[in-house]
Amino acid sequence: MKDLTQEEWQEKLKKDKNAVILDVRTDEEVEEGYIPNAKIIDIYKGQGFINEVEKLDKSKNYYIYCRSGKRSSQACTLLDQMGFNETYNLLGGFSEWEGETTTP
């Protein structure tokens, strides 16, 4: 896992042809908006989260965010332990995001 600032995250994401954006917030939080093209898997779903993550392609690079950066850091650690290649945590999370957003 690498912690990236908002700028580093956006810059790296733009250049990464193997990138997947992963939003680990709750459905209620996602209602307020999310980063376009993000896969949404709520980390609070426990085993349900693990089951969904196991379906993902481990060879991809995962750019993970939550509201503030704490849950996404946990998600990165979990994915790393599950054998995923690269995980990137968005420092400050969606609450500090200044890039493009969309709503459900």
- Active site amino acids: 66
76: β partners = none
Cα within 13 Å of Cα(3), Cβ side = 9
3-class SS of residue 104: coil
In sequence order, what DSSP letters do the residues of 15-80 get, joined into one string? H-TTEEEEE-S-HHHHHT-B-TT-EE--GGGTHHHHHHHTTS-TTSEEEEE-SSSHHHHHHHHHHH
Cross-strand bridge partners of residue 89: 3, 64
